[in-house]
Amino acid sequence: MMTLAMVALLAACKPAPEKTPAASEITAPPVPEAKADGPAAATTAVSLDGEGLRFIDKTSGKASLLAFGVPRAQAEAALANVAGKEDDRSTNDECGAGPMQFTRYDAMTLNFQDDKFAGWFLGNEPGAAAYSTASGIAIGTTRAKAGESVSIIAVEDSTLGEEFSIGTGENVVGGIFASPGDAAKIDALFAGVNCFFR
């Protein structure tokens, strides 16, 4: 009986558990706004291309290609002129394509090998809306809508998920739909050399 009384007293002395916030009280940290604050952001658009990135003068419509193979410094300077200062630089020595370096500007990542522009990757993040292909394909475009303007080729048995390419050949833009079906939206776009583990 004495033991039972001691247990009851100890339980009464135990501090009350800290109040855990209800699910409605938990808030995620704010997502930073995309910068797009480079000196040419107001006058230049960037178009996604299977050969690199195309910079389009918004007034004249003239385009210039930043082709895969240009030096890293040139590629970084060109995109920074529109997207603003890079967010970070990183390296991965274990990519399937060999060691790679990366420079990220909001949703856009430039990929490099041997100090040369080798590819790009656009993720579903703030800033992605600033980029599209010449035919208007962008992050968030549905499979059905994309199929109205370009040939969407499914990549069979992809380990990346609902992978596709826009057209066929060597210099294509690839992508990943978020799910199967015509209503599925594009979640990523890429071209050139990327650090994918297939």
User: Model-level pTM?
Assistant: 0.80
Residue pair 143/153 in contact (Cβ under 8 Å)? The answer is no
Mean pLDDT of the chain: 84
Distances (CA, A) of 15 to 9, 10, 11, 12, 18: 12, 10, 9, 8, 9
Q: How confident is the model at residue 25 (pLDDT cuts 50, 70, 90)?
A: low
Distances (CA, A) of 26 to 10, 18, 125, 174: 33, 15, 22, 37
Quickly count: other Cβ atoms within 10 Å of residue 121's Cβ: 20
Q: How confident is the model at residue 5 (pLDDT cuts 50, 70, 90)?
A: very low
At residue 83, φ and ψ (nearest 5 deg) are -85, -15
| Mean pLDDT calculated for residue range 124-141 | 94
- CA-CA distance, 161 to 142, in Å (whole number)? 16
How confident is the model at residue 88, as a pLDDT?
Answer: 94
- CA-CA distance, 68 to 48, in Å (whole number)? 12
Q: What is the pLDDT of residues 106-124, one digit of tens each?
A: 999 999 999 999 999 999 9
How confident is the model at residue 36, as a pLDDT?
Answer: 58
Q: How confident is the model at residue 68 (pLDDT cuts 50, 70, 90)?
A: very high
